[in-house]
Amino acid sequence: MKRKPFKTFTFEGKCIDLSHDGKGVVKYQGIPGFIENILIDEEAIIEVTYLKKDRFFGRVKEITKKSPYRVKPRCGVFKECGGCALQHLDYQLQKEYKRKKVKEAIKRIGGIDCVVDETIGMDDPYFYRNKIQMPVRITKKGNIVSGFYKENTHDIVPIEECVIENKVADQILKTIRNLMKKYRILPYDEDLKKGIIRHILIRNSHYFKEVMVVLITSVDSFPGRRDFIKDLKNQELIISTIVQNINPRDTNVILGEKERILYGKGFIKDQLCGLTFKISPKSFYQVNPLQTEKLYQTAIDLANINKNDLVLDAYCGIGTIGLIAAKTAKEVIGVEIVSDAIKDARNNAKENDIQNISFYEGDAGEFILEKQKEGITFDVVIMDPPRKGSDEKFLNIILKTEPKKVVYVSCEPSTLARDLQLLSQKYTIKKVVPVDMFPHTFHVETVVLLSRVNSK
C-alpha cells in the first residue's frame, strides 16, 4: 500500500528558541518544529513540510516580524548551502547562543548547574579555515563544479567563494577546475562509478606561506596527470606541495589509504603558541589557527602546570597540546591509538627540540593503569577526545587513579555533559570556557577544569 504524499500547509508562528543545530524552534498546536533561517522572537509564515506527533519541519515563506539581531549574510548561497547555520545572526549573539548551549547541555544531560564563562570569539570571524575538502562534479551542461553537499543530500551547491575559508583556497579551486577541463580530467560520478577526481583537499599554513593540495582520485594513475601537475605548480599560486590520495572504495570516507607525493615534500608547516608543527594530508590539526591558540592556551592556563607536575596528554593526536604543556611541566606523556599520529607527534617533538615529552601508541586508560603498577601517578590529565566523547572505561580509570586535575577539551557539548556527569563522582567543575572555533556554524569547543574533591 502506497503512503499518501504529505500535503504541506502554512501557519503563522513565532520563534521561541534556537535548537542545538541552529534551527529556529516554532510551535504548532503545541508541537515543536525546527525551521531554518528564523531567529528568536521573529514571526513568520511557516510552510510545514513534514509532520509527526512529536515534531515537525518546515521552511520560512515570509518573515512578518524581523529580529533586531538579524544581519545580512555575506555568503551568496547561505540559504542553499546550510553549512553556516548562524550567519544571519549578529556575531555577539552567536557567542551568547553557544555559551547558553554549553550551559544547558551540562544541566540537562549532566545534571550539573554550573557557571559558564562568556564565549571566547574572534575579532574578524571570516575567512578563518585553514583546511577545506570539496567534492567535484560535472553538471548536465558539462561544467566542472566544486562545492558543499546540501544538508541531508548528495547534491552539490557550487561555491565560487566561501566566506569562512582561506581566500587562497578559492583561487586554487578555480584553477584546478579550469585545468581539469583543459586536460579532460573528469570528476568522479558516484552513480556511474566513472571519472577521476573525487575531492580536492587544500590545507594552508597561517604563519608560513605554504599550501598543500591533495587530489583524491578513484584510480592510481590517469592520463594527463604529469602535464596537469606541471601546469598547476607553475601557476602564480603559493602551492608548496601536491599529493595524490587514492580512494577506489565506494564509501563516504574521503581519504583512501594510499598516497603519492607529486610535488614538494608532502607536508606543510605551521605554528601554534610559538611551536612548529608538520602537517600531512591525514594529520589532525585544528582548522582555525587563531582560535586554536586561544583554545590551547586556555587549557594550559586552567591546568596551571608547574615544574613538579607529571602530565598525561590523552587522545594526543600529533602532540599539539602536550608539546605546549611541556614548556612548564616536569614531564609530559602523550598517548594516542593512531600510529600515524604518534609518528607525527614524535617528529614534532624533535622539530621543536623538546626533551621532556614522550609519545606512546596505545589506549590511554590502559597506559595509566600500567604506570600505576610501576608506582607512577599523573598530577594532571589533559583530554581532547573526538566528537563522540570519551569512553566509559577511560573515565572510570580516571576515577580509580584520581589525578589531581583533569582538563577536558570538548568539541561536542552533549557528550561533554554526559562525561562530566560520570566524573562528578569525584571531581568538581572549577571553570567552563566556551571557545568559538567555528564562527557562523552551530559548533562550539569547550574547555573544562575539573579538580579532585578534597585535593590540596
Contacts of 378 (CB under 8 A, 6+ apart): 310, 311, 312, 333, 368, 371, 401, 403
50-55: Cβ within 8 A, 24+ apart: 50/6, 51/6, 55/31
CB 232 within 8 A of CB 242: yes
Q: Which residues contact 392 (CB under 8 A, 6 or more apart)?
A: 422
214, 234 in Cβ contact below 8 A? no
φ/ψ (deg, to 5) at 398: -60, -45
DSSP code for 106? H
Q: How far apart are CA 59 and CA 10, in angstroms?
A: 9
Q: Is 81 one of the annotated active-site residues of the chain?
A: no
Which of 81, 84, 162, 411 is the catalytic position?
A: 411
Distance CA 75, CA 119 (A): 24
Closest to 382 (Cα-Cα) out of 294, 284, 277, 303: 303
Are the C-beta atoms of residues 187 and 180 closer than 8 Å to each other? yes
Q: Which residues contact 300 (CB under 8 A, 6 or more apart)?
A: 321, 324, 325, 328
Question: CA 228 to CA 242: how far, in whole Å?
Answer: 11
Give the closest residue to 445 by CA, choosing from 235, 275, 298: 298
Greatest CA separation found in the chain?
72
174 in Cβ contact with 145 (< 8 Å): no
Q: Which residues contact 3 (CB under 8 A, 6 or more apart)?
A: none
**Partners of 433 in the beta sheet?**
447
Rounded distance between C-alpha atoms, residue 410 and residue 414, angstroms: 10
**Exposure on the CB side of residue 362, measured as CA atoms within 13 A:** 12
Q: What residues act catalytically?
A: 411
